[in-house]
Amino acid sequence: MSRDVEVVVIGAGQAGLSAAHHLARLGLDLVVLDAEERAGGAWQHRWPSLTLARTHHVHDLPGLPFPPAGDDVPAADAVPAYFAEYERHFALPVHRPVRVRAVRRAPDDSRREHRSELCARGADRGAESGRRAWPDDRFRVETSDGDWTADAVVNATGTWTRPFVPRYPGQELFRGRQLTPVDYRGAAEFAGQSVVVVGGGASAVQLLGEIAEVADTTWVTRRPPVWREAPFGPDEGRAAVALVEDAVREGRSPGSVVGVTGLVVTPWVREARARSVLARLPVFDRFTPDGVAWDDGRFVRADAVLWATGFRAALGHLAPLGLRGPGGGIRMEGTHVAGEPRVHLVGYGPSASTVGANRAGREAAVALRRLLRPEAALPR
Ligand code: FAD
């Protein structure tokens, strides 16, 4: 027997909590389903040396400021504590641990009958509450803890569960360790080793700097990194987000916002550069059992290869909805899937940052309120 709401929010990270906050504020009937054991979204899994000072700033969720915390506090402690307080403060209906396995279009016959009965009595729920009926096409959200039916879905499942690892010839022959930032717990375990770090993003640079203090490191990136001497201004931020927006509007893969912003030269980066830690090589051509090799004859022995090669959106559970176009991407209009105003992807593409997730959550909630309760005035 499935439970019924207007909106199911999937995921309780920054994007899901922002959406839930605004949906609740706008009077919609919702539930948040989150796969984690506790509050914190992906932040609870970040490596322990990622302190608040080393993040690019975690923006306040709407309506409750981040409490003061020391710069040296691990983000994996501070952010989950804040999210837990946020859920309590606004009494958000978060159910966990609940993993969504599939979302399907599902005409709900029992609900349809119920609705026609109400309509016949001239007292449909829409008339009572301003709620619009979607009798023909609803969503069934199948989870590790039973099913839900809903008029709309806000997907906020982030990327952390899908680190991307490219394939190279001979990879399966490599006898060393291969890991991603998801597996990284600190540099100590690499003491005295030879480690190849792959990737041109902020995570690669940060982990490289740490590991280089205890190990021999080699940094490889597909393209030469683009360094930014000055921090990002709001106009540049908007321009970068607009590039990712263009990609998703055209149904291309979103890439990452950092991919278009370049790497900011922090004092820490300057110091790593001075230690020659950031001397970069192009990506190797193949693995050998003991390391990595280039076609020009270069070889680097490696005990470990750390793939800091980005993440992909965790959207497998939406596959039954057939949202992807022929090129494999999902065409978006703002925060909703093009042609499907009842499926919103927040924290996706241009909104894959804490500030972007905040805004996307609000935009999705306002759009759904207008769509599902067209008769009712929006509260201020
Ligand atoms: P998440 O925080 O990943 O939350 C997703 C939630 O969905 C999780 O709780 C997950 O368990 C749940 N979930 C996933 N699949 C399912 C499912 N099938 N069923 C139920 N629940 C599910 N942004 C910044 O603005 N500043 C920074 O400093 C910054 N640093 C970053 C550092 C790293 C290492 C990384 C990887 C990202 C960083 N970002 C930063 C990006 C930022 O963390 C995210 O874009 C932002 O927090 C939005 O997160 P989210 O809500 O989309 O996802």
Is ligand 1 within 6 A of the CB of residue 160?
yes
Residue nearest to atom 18 of ligand 1 (CA): 100
Residues 26, 146 within the same domain: yes
pLDDT for 120: 41
Q: Whose CA is nearest to atom 37 of ligand 1?
A: 353
Pocket mutation for ligand 1, best pick of 21, 34, 82 (most atoms within 8 Å of C-beta): 34
* CB-ligand 1 contact for 57 (6 Å cutoff): yes
Does residue 153 sit in the same domain as residue 189?
A: no
Q: Do 13 and 97 lie in a common domain?
A: yes
Distance CA 96, CA 37 (A): 6
37 and 154 together in one domain: yes
User: What is the whole-number distance in angstroms between the Cα of residue 353 and the centre of ligand 1?
Assistant: 8
Q: What is the pLDDT of residue 130?
A: 57
Q: Say how far apart CA 100 and CA 350 lie, in whole Å.
A: 23
Residues 221 and 186 reside in one and the same domain: yes
Judge whether 172 lies within some domain: no
Residue 218 exposed, middle or buried by CB count within 10 Å (0-12, 13-18, 19+): buried
Residue 167: inside a domain: no
Query: Are both 231 and 355 inside the same structural domain?
Result: no
Last residue of a domain, one of 306, 331, 348: 306
Please give the distance, rounded to the nearest whole angstrom, from the Cα atom of residue 84 to the centre of ligand 1. 15
Q: What is the pLDDT of residue 301?
A: 98
Distance of alpha carbon 270 from alpha carbon 278, whole angstroms: 9
Q: Could you tell me if the CB of 141 is within 6 A of ligand 1? A: no
- Going from the C-alpha of 133 to that of each of 26, 31, 314, 332, the distances in angstroms are 18, 18, 30, 24
> Is the C-beta atom of 15 inside 6 A of ligand 1?
yes
Last residue within a domain, chosen from 288, 306, 324: 306
Q: What is the CATH number of the domain that holds 100?
A: 3.50.50.60
Two tokens, residue 69: 């915390």
Are both 267 and 285 inside the same structural domain? yes
My answer on whether 183 and 210 are in the same domain is: yes
Considering the domain architecture, whether residues 11 and 145 belong to the same structural domain is answered as: yes
Report pLDDT for 259: 64
Segment 205-230, tens digit of pLDDT: 999 999 999 999 999 999 998 888 87
Q: How far away, in angstroms, is 42 Cα from ligand 1 center? A: 5
Is position 379 within any domain?
no
Choose the final residue of a domain: 279, 306, 333. 306
Low-confidence spans in the chain with pLDDT less than 70: 108-136, 256-260, 380
Which atom of ligand 1 is nearest the CA belonging to 160? 3
Say if residue 7 is in the same domain as residue 142: yes
Ligand 1 center from residue 99 Cα (angstroms): 15
The reply to whether 223 and 351 lie within a common domain is no
Please name the residue that has the structure tokens 């001075």.
Answer: 274
**ipTM surpassing 0.95, yes or no?**
yes
Position 169 in a domain: no
- Identify whether 320 is part of a domain: yes
Pick the closest to residue 135 from 104, 113, 119, 112 (CA basis).
112
Cβ of 99 less than 6 Å from ligand 1: yes
Which tokens belong to 50?
A: 């990622």
Residue 74 Cβ contacting ligand 1 at under 6 Å: no
Question: What is the predicted pLDDT for the residue at 126?
Answer: 43
Asked if the structure places residue 124 within a domain, the reply is no
Judge whether 357 and 351 are in contact, CB under 8 Å. yes
Provide the CA 94 distance to its chain's centre, in angstroms: 18
Q: Which atom of ligand 1 is nearest to the CA of 157?
A: 7
> Do the domain assignments include residue 165?
no
Q: Look at residues 166, 173, 120 and name the one whose alpha carbon lies nearest to residue 289.
A: 173
Domain of residue 230, residue span: 177-306
State the total domains in the chain.
2
How remote is the CA of residue 359 from the centroid of ligand 1, in Å?
15
238 domain-assigned: yes
Distance 177 CA to ligand 1 centre (A): 26
Which pLDDT score is estimated for 137? 82
Nearest to 254 by CA among 312, 307, 309: 312
In terms of domains, do 7 and 146 share one? yes
Asked if residues 7 and 93 have their Cβ atoms less than 8 Å apart, the reply is no
Q: Which ligand 1 atom minimizes the distance to the CA of 47?
A: 34
For residue 140, report the distance from its CA to the centre of ligand 1, in Å. 24
